[in-house]
Structures are given as C-alpha cells and as structure tokens.
Structure 1
C-alpha cells in the first residue's frame, strides 16, 4: 500500500510538472507504434511518450508538452517496455563471452578442436610467472544430446590434446563438467574417490573416473580454480552488459551470487558503473549467507540494484539426468536423479531465509524436487505467516499434474524459461516418458489457473536473446520453426502473455511492478525500439526480431 501511494504521489507531481510553464528537462518522443501492458495486465497502445529525467510523465498526449528540451521523431518504429530476464547468470555470461564457447558443437572431437583453437588464439606469454599446470582452461556449452554419439565425453580426448594444463568444460546447463586427467589429478580424484552427496563422479566399467562430474561432484574440481579478482569481474560484467543491452534487456534477475559478487555489485552501483538493472539472488550455499541476510534488503535509489532474495538448489538438470524424479527415469530405470540439497536440510534452509524476511527462489526441475519445495513452503508459511508472498520456484520444469494447483494456492511464482522446452524437446520424452510430459513446461496450464509466470532464459545455459524466448513461448517451435504445429501445442501462450512474462510479471516477481515492467506515467523510462511488430507479424518471425535502441532511466544506452 505504501508503495502504491508513493507511486500515485509521484505520478501526480509529474503530471502537474508536465503542463506547467517552468522549464523541465523533458524528452518527448512522437510518432511511435508503442505497445505496453498496464498495471492490470491489459495490452494498450500509444503514439508518443514524454519523460522527465528518469520517469515517464505523459503518453498519448494530444498536444506537445511545455518545457521540451529534446524532441525525437520515432519514425513509426515499434516501442516496447525494456525486457526483463527473470533468471540469468550475469557474470557466467560474461565469462562465457570471454572464454571457450562449445555451444553448437556436433561431436566430442569438434569440442576438443574448439579448445585447441582457443589455446592457439590465447597463447600464454613467454615470460609468464605461472606454470602452465596452473593455467586453467575454462569453457562451457557442450551438450552430448546433440552429438551423434549421444554419450558423455571422456577425459581421454582432452588428454590427447592437452595433458599438462587442467581443463574444465561445463555442460550447457551447468550441471556437469568435463575435465581432463590433469584436473582430476589436482583434485585428487581417482578410482577410490567416492561420489559426494548430491553428485556423481562418473566412472567406467573398470571403476576409473571418465572425466565427467555431475552436480555436487563438480566442486571437487571447480573449487580449485582461482577466484576471479575485481578486474576480472569487471571484464565479465562489461562483456555481459554490452551483450544484454544490445538485446533490449534492461533488467536481469541474477540467479545465485557469492559474497564476493554481492560486494562487487554494491561497489559498482555506488560508483554508477551498473549499466542495466540487477535483481540479485544470494546463493544459499555461500558460507557467508548469514552475514548477507543480517544486512537486510539492499536497494539503490535509482533502482539499478536490488538484493532481497536467496537462490537455493533443489536438484540437477534433466539433460544430465540429475533432475530429481518421483519415479525413475524412463531411459535409466535405476536412476531417480539427485537432490543437491538433502531433503532433511530443507526445513532449516527455508526457515533461515523466510525468517530473515527474504524471498526464497528454489531451483526445482524434476517433479520430486518441485513437490518437496511446495510441501516445505506450505510448512514454513505456518511458522512465518508474515512472509508468504511472491516466493518462487525456479524452472518448475517437470511438475506432477496434481501439484500444479499448489503453486496458485500457495502463491508461489513459477519462474520459467521458454527456450528450455524447445531445447529439451528432442530428449524430454526419452527422459520422463509421455505421461509425465503433461505437467512439463506447462505455461498455458499455469496461466489458466491464474499463476503469474516470470519468464527468463537461464543464460548462458540458453542464449540471452529474449525474443528467442518469446518465439518459443508463442510457437513451441525450434529456430527452424519445427515441429509444424509446435511441441505440445496446447501449452502455447499468446504474444501478449509472453510479453507479460518478460515485463510486468517478471517485475512483479522482484517486487518492482510499481516501478518497472510497463510504460506508464510515474514509472521509470526503460524502453526499447525494435525492427518489427511482433503483434501483427507472423509468430514465426518473432525470433528474428532485432533491437534498434535500448533506453534505461530515460537515457539511450544502446543503438544499433
């Protein structure tokens, strides 16, 4: 209520200023084909917009306002609210842009070739003070499901190419790594090393590690990689910023940050270095989580940074068979997946976060992980009735049909990524069978019951382009617009619903709908120009949409 009253007061002040004779720093953009949702979620159109500094002060004006400093002809271009990605990994994207990219490889051999090409292009200085054995090679993006072998890779192929330098290559979903023998040796992993709880050291028939580590087993190696320093974090953030702004993304919900990044983001915000908005989730696994919770909510005056949530980890991913399932995998009858956080640890975790008045965003892909999360939310709400609003399940990917109504009953927001469906459709039925698909990637079902879905991409697992997500949500098709009618077409959503997931409802999922997510008087002037009308053109063309300009706080931050 206080937030709403504050917005109304600010709106009234801005409207009065709009037509006063005093000289305000108004920017007036006319001749646009504008689309936005209003606060009630209804699609509206507009032809002009006026903003004073950071805030919108008028739309669809019948006469030019006084005090204009800047007047811009929109040239009939399409304007939309700035896009919000409700689930991404910002510095992971930046790192991905700066390191070995294995996305799109068609075989293990091609992936190894990419590694060698990277090494050739980034040769170590001859006078490097560090031994080559401590120069880690990091990459991401392989997906064995897309390889002709359809099998996990092995350390042998990496060893043949690079036997001295440790190599760590993350699977596209981040839930498995492929390493060479040098990395295994540094970690002390051999045939006698047991798999940790919530993880697996994949071994061959002779009991030897193959070089693939799943979920919690990853950290046996990744903990040895030297932490990035502030300069490296800055490079990663700058690379991610440039990329995201070019895609029209004005805000990102960063799904899991460490104490180091928590401090780094605040330093960047204080110095005015943040180029887009960040809604950061504290990683539940960070050793200093109690200190961060005790510090309370972090919000900057210009809304560039907000930290008031925690990202917890329920299970692994479907592609690596780490998603926790109630019944075994259809293509692996002895495997139920993995619980990354043990079931017995859930009560204390949920109480820790909710008791600190933070939002809890729980990663759950398999139906068992989703059920356990829903059950624990219900139990914990009884203990903390003052903090029951807008908690989230990240992914909500495979949900038992009978559990879907619990999201609405408990007020849990499904935070979902449309391109996961179109990326997974070539293997999802193999993993879980046809019956369980009825509760998988079920966007339409969630919307029909009244749930508000926060849409995102999960970059760099998927590409960060939100128009790929809009296309996937509307068509349920691949980049080649296959299958013809869409995969499980009954779960398609309208363009309006898809845009809502990437704007208004994403803002709602971050407690920011009174400031962001729509273009309305009193809200921040975050908007984009695009090269086509996604509401009147063919749905198949949405994926190819190009962003022409990106504006944040009334300032142009990208132009094509």
Structure 2
C-alpha cells in the first residue's frame, strides 16, 4: 500500500515562531503541511505507506518570504555590470571598458550598485568620468541604493535632457555652473529619466526573462514568496503574461504599486483609484493565490548616502532636504488608499520621514477608523528616533528592514555624511524588538545582494559579507537565530497578510519549505556565507534542488 504523504525526518525543523521549540520531522500531503513534530507523531498522522526522506540533521524552515524586492529590476541587475565591490572610480571605468570591448555591438551599457565612497571627498559622479571610457553609446549606472543614476553624455542625449529640462517633483538633475547636466540624477529624476528611458528600450521578451531570472535566483536561496515594492504597468503586464502562460507563478508575490508624487492632489488621488481598479481586475481574473496587489508604496524621502533622506537635524555638510511627499499631499492620499483597502508601504530612511509615515498612519485611523487588517509598514528605517519606535508599537506598524543595507563595507559614506552620534545609532533592530514592533527582514534587492543566508549572517553578527576585515557595526543590535528566522519567514508573511497560509510549518499551511545547506543554530555564522538552499519546496513540490 502506498501513500501520497512524504515524511521528512532527522531534521532540525524551525516551525516559524522563535518561542516554539524545533521539532524533528514533518509530513507533506497535497501541497500542504500535514503534521510537524516528533517522528512518532508524524508517522501516526501520515499513516502507512508514506515515503520517508532522511535529511541528515539539516536545518529546515518555512520558506523565506522576501520582505522587500524589485523583481524585474533584480532580474535585470543580475545581467548588468556589477559595481558593488568596485573601490575606486578607476575600477568602475575599467569594468565599463571591459564590458564595451566584450560586446562591441552593444547599443548601451548598464551597470548597478556603485557606491558613493568611491569618490574623493567633495567630488560627485560626472558624465566626463564615463565619457573617458565609453563616449559613443549610452551608459547608465544605478547607485547602490537605487535612488540615483550616473550617466554619460550619450545617455543624457538619449534621454533628451537639456538645460531647459525641468527637475521633477522630488528629484534633481544635477547641473554645473553653466546649467548643463553633470550626469548625476537624484531621486525622481533618476526614476523619470534614466529608468523611463530604459523602460522604453526594454522589450516584453526582456521583461519576461528578467522575471524568470529573479525567480530562479530566489528559489536557489530559499525564497518561496516575495513582496514587490515598485510595481507598475510594465510589471503588471509581465506577471499577467506569466500567469496566462502557466496559470501560476514560481511562488506567490504580493505587490505594492509605486505612487509618484506629482504636486497635484487630484492627480495623486487619481493614481489611487487606478491602483484599486487594477487590484480588483487582477483578483477577478486570476484570484489571489499567486499574485495580489496588496498596497501602495510611498517613497517619502531619499537616502542618507546622497544626503536626500529627510532628517530632523542637518547633515554634516549643513544640508537639510525636505521630504519627497509633503504632508499636505501625503496624508489625504494615504487616507484615500486606506479607505479602499490598500495597505500602506512607506519608504522612510531618515528620522523626519518616518515621523511623516506615522502621521499618515494616524490620519488613516482618525479618518477611516480602527481596522484590524490595516497592517501598515514602514520600509528601511535606517535612522529612526526612539519616539518613532514607540509610536510604531502603539499603532501596530511593521518595521520592514534589510540587514544587508548595513554591511559595514557600505557604511563609510553613510556615517560620514551624518557626522555625529546618528552615525552610530542606525538600524536599531534591538530597540524594535524591545518595543514589541513586528519585524520583517528582507534585502531590497537589487539595491543589495539578494541571498538570504548572507542577509541572515549580517543579522546575526553585524559584520560584513563584502569585506571580512571590517569591524562589526554596533553589534549590540544583533538577532538570535530564531528571532532572525522568524522575521524572515513569519514576520514577512504577516506583513504581506499571508500569515494564515505561509510563514509556518504547521498543519494546513502551504508547504513552502526550505532545507538549508548550513545550520544557523549549530554552525558558526561564517558557515552561512556563500550557501543557499539544499532544496526548496513550493506547495510541496520541488522548485529547486542543489546539484
């Protein structure tokens, strides 16, 4: 007699909650977890004839739900010139020259993840630096934080940027003393011009390939769900093509539609109405098993590295930029989104931006009333005040944070531009834990590496993946393994409102499960580096297996 049940035994099974002791086995049937516990209890639940797989003591967890990602951009970025570990402008130039020589028929060169600290003090990116090695075709390079672009003269020409081109709301085309663009585009200028140009020259086949690449990369690193954070028309059509072709995605995706600050309240409110229409049409056509538009993303400020994050006190250079979304627009648009059931995902890196974020949440509660399923979330929270953390706990706001953003190897410029005690108090994970704020840990790929074990390593150690010689950044913040894994699985499932079906290994939950090649509980943290999943299950079926 045979059974349709598979038992996985001799494992260290973390079931999703830090306070729950690990168990030794689990059983899967029909795409769902049948049971988890002692081998004897699991065998009783499974009945006779079950297949049994011995995992040799491996760590097994719920599949990781990536808490913050830009999927198509990740798939695209994996094929770009990689610049995160470039230490100087000359090294960037060498890699671009090599890319040009390797592909003489290229129509453009794209790169990703250059860091601000490659420039000598007081210098900024210029088009001439890129023209020196690639003058004939457009070069467009995304910064490590994806909040600015560095381009050459050919790219400025291709984008149609002239002296008369206006700065968009919330962005800047950096110019020289003559009024000419220098090749450095900040915030919404990068999004509107650099990203807009690339979107025009990207084909549907390209986008389909980007999505495939991102999904495959994530499955290999134990991810069985993702939270999209810059969803738009092109993304929607790409996902719809995949759903029409396969009837499913490689794993569930929850999308937050990116709103653009226009400076016109009626136009901003119209965006919300359009997102709600897309959400309802998507759900009517495909259901919500694989793809949902769950909310809207507000980018309230920029980033600390470029001195564009909104802070309560000035940067070391005296700069004190305002937010991208002013309160007079942010609050009513948030209320409108909340009124139609759209979750708020609020990018806030500076301490003033996170204050605005909570003002938005509080205004939604005041106008629309309390609601248990609201689950607002604030993204990044790199420099955050203690009073904001207390407010988040009181209002039930999730802290969506990314350990890979504070790899010590990428913090030199971040600390220098702050220049005071704020340089030592960033990313305060421990304060959120102490306050009882729900934490959801992700990577924000491709602004940072997407691999879950590397992200976990930084959460456990506050040390660098990129440069092992670095001292840890404020190591009192670190997580215990169980707390970090809960924040990467159940915490992120809670944040996406899928905690009823994902984030736990428990009876009736979808069998999104990962067996790891390193054990965060028993191995030294260094053992995590460069590893991934031994196998990844989505609905009980093998979606990835290491060779």
| TM-score, length-scaled by structure 1 | 0.87
Q: Does residue 431 of structure 1 match 2:403?
A: no
Q: Judging changes above 3 Å, is the alpha-carbon distance between structure 1 residues 523 and 68 closer, same or farther for their aligned structure 2 residues?
A: farther
Specify whether residues 406 and 443 from structure 1 end up closer, same or farther in structure 2 by C-alpha distance, changes over 3 A only.
same
Q: Which residue is equivalent to 1:228?
A: 202
- 1:375 paired with 2:352, answer no
Match of 1:489 among 475, 490, 510: 475
Secondary structure in 2 aligned to 1:49? strand
Are the equivalent residues in 1 in contact too, given 2:347–2:379 (CA < 8 A)?
A: yes
Q: CA deviation at 1:155?
A: 0.6
> 1:146 offset after TM fit, Å?
4.0
Shift of 1:67: 5.5
Alignment gaps of 5+ in structure 2: 261-267
Residue pair 1:527, 1:551 contacting (<8 A) in 2 also: yes
Tell me, in whole angstroms, the C-alpha distance in 1 between the residues paired with 2:509 and 2:398. Answer: 23
Task: Give deviations 1:51-85, integer Å, cap 9, x for gaps.
Answer: 11210112234136336464322233221211111
What secondary structure is seen at the aligned counterpart in 2 of 1:473?
helix
Residue in structure 1 matching 2:9, options 24, 30, 41: 30
Q: Is the 8 A contact 2:443 2:455 kept in 1?
A: yes
Aligned residue for 2:21, secondary structure, equals strand
**Pairwise CA distance, 1:207:** 4.3
Report the counterpart of residue 231 of structure 2 in structure 1: 257
1:463 to 425, 429, 449: 449
Change (3 A) 1:204 1:68: farther
- Write the distance in 2 (CA, Å) between the matches of 1:319 and 1:528: 35
Pick from 338, 357, 366 the counterpart of residue 350 of structure 2.
366
Could you list the runs of 5+ residues in structure 1 that have no partner in the other structure? 1-20, 125-131
Farther-moved stretch of structure 1 (438-447 vs 314-323): 438-447
Name the residue aligned to 1:110: 91
The verdict on how the C-alpha distance between 1:458 and 1:200 changes in structure 2, with shifts beyond 3 A counting, is same
Choose 414-423 or 299-308, whichever is displaced more.
299-308
Count of matched residue pairs:
525
Name the counterpart of 2:58: 77
1:170-185 alignment runs, 5 A limit: 170-185=142-157
Structure 1 CA distance, aligned partners of 2:53 and 2:416? Answer: 54
Please report how far the alpha carbon of residue 296 of structure 1 lies from its aligned counterpart in structure 2 after TM superposition: 4.1
Instruction: Report the aligned-residue RMSD.
Output: 2.4
Distance 2:451 2:321 in 1: 30
User: How much does 1:338 deviate?
Assistant: 4.7
Matched, 1:244 2:244: no
1:259–1:288 contact (8 Å) kept in structure 2? no
Q: Distance in 2 between matches of 1:66 and 1:222?
A: 55
Counterpart in the other structure of 2:505 = 519
**Separation in structure 1 between the aligned mates of residue 386 and residue 542 of structure 2, nearest angstrom:** 45
Aligned partner of residue 223 in structure 1, secondary structure: helix
Q: 1:338 to 1:190 in 2, by over 3 A?
A: farther
Separation of aligned partners in 2, 1:173 and 1:27: 43
The normalised TM-score by structure 2 is: 0.89
Partner of 1:394: 379
**1:442, 1:149 → 2: CA distance?**
28
Inter-CA distance 150–54: structure 2 relative to 1 (3 Å threshold) = farther
